[in-house]
Amino acid sequence: MSSHETDAELLAEGDLVADYLEELLDIADLDGDIENSIKDGRAFIAIDTESERLVGKEGEVLDALQELSRLVVMTETGHRSRLMVDVAGYRDRRRAELLVMAKDAIAAVQESGEPVRLAPLNAYERKIVHDEVAAAGLVSESEGEPPARRVVVRKQ
């Protein structure tokens, strides 16, 4: 399957995952409403809940939940999914934190001319930082091995 899936295919992926997560919430005895939509050309499942238990420390539980959800799609359809899962608005809050982190690094590099190494981030988080750095006209690259892979920001 190409990466140019139709909206109907993406919503079908989301429906598979929504059913799976609904069962998971029942088993865990957690309250939450599940919304299936499309965001940035990928299926996007949002669990609206008061509980942070499905987010975990630094989003670890959320990332695991997303991987499990992608496995569900793989098992059912035979193709890889780029589906995103969010819980209690964590991803938007985290994105805002990452943009502040990127802007601080950009300002520091512009001021001192010295490279700035950020804390380790996952691939999705690194992409957000790389995009912000590129928009500011600086260069960034990833170094190290996961889970210690980090972004380094420098002048051209």
Residues 6+ apart with CB under 8 A from 12: none
User: Token pair for residue 17?
Assistant: 């995952």
> pLDDT digit string (tens) for 83-142?
999 999 999 999 999 999 999 999 999 999 999 999 999 988 999 999 999 999 999 999
Under the banding of pLDDT at 50, 70 and 90, the label for residue 33 is: very high
CATH classification of the domain holding 96: 3.30.1370.50
Q: Are residues 102 and 30 in the same domain?
A: no
Map tokens 């001192």 to a residue. Answer: 112
**Residue 4 pLDDT > 90:** no
Residue 2 lies in a domain: no
Residue 19 lies in a domain: yes
Mean pLDDT along residues 43-66: 94
Q: Are residues 54 and 29 in the same domain?
A: yes
**pLDDT averaged over every residue in the chain:** 95
This prediction's pTM: 0.85
Give the C-alpha separation, 45 to 36, whole Å. Answer: 5
Give the C-alpha separation, 94 to 100, whole Å. Answer: 10
Map tokens 């599940």 to a residue. Answer: 34
Map tokens 């600086």 to a residue. Answer: 138
Q: Are residues 60 and 102 in the same domain?
A: no
Q: Are residues 130 and 97 in the same domain?
A: yes
Would you state the pLDDT for residue 3? 54
Give the C-alpha separation, 84 to 66, whole Å. Answer: 6
Would you state the pLDDT for residue 1? 42
Q: Domain count of the chain?
A: 2
Under the banding of pLDDT at 50, 70 and 90, the label for residue 55 is: very high
CATH classification of the domain holding 22: 3.30.300.20
Tell me the residue range of the domain where 27 lies. Answer: 7-88
Cβ contact 84:43 at 8 Å: yes
Query: Among residues 57, 72, 88, which one ends one of the domains?
Result: 88
User: Token pair for residue 104?
Assistant: 């601080």
Residue 52 lies in a domain: yes
Q: Are residues 108 and 74 in the same domain?
A: no
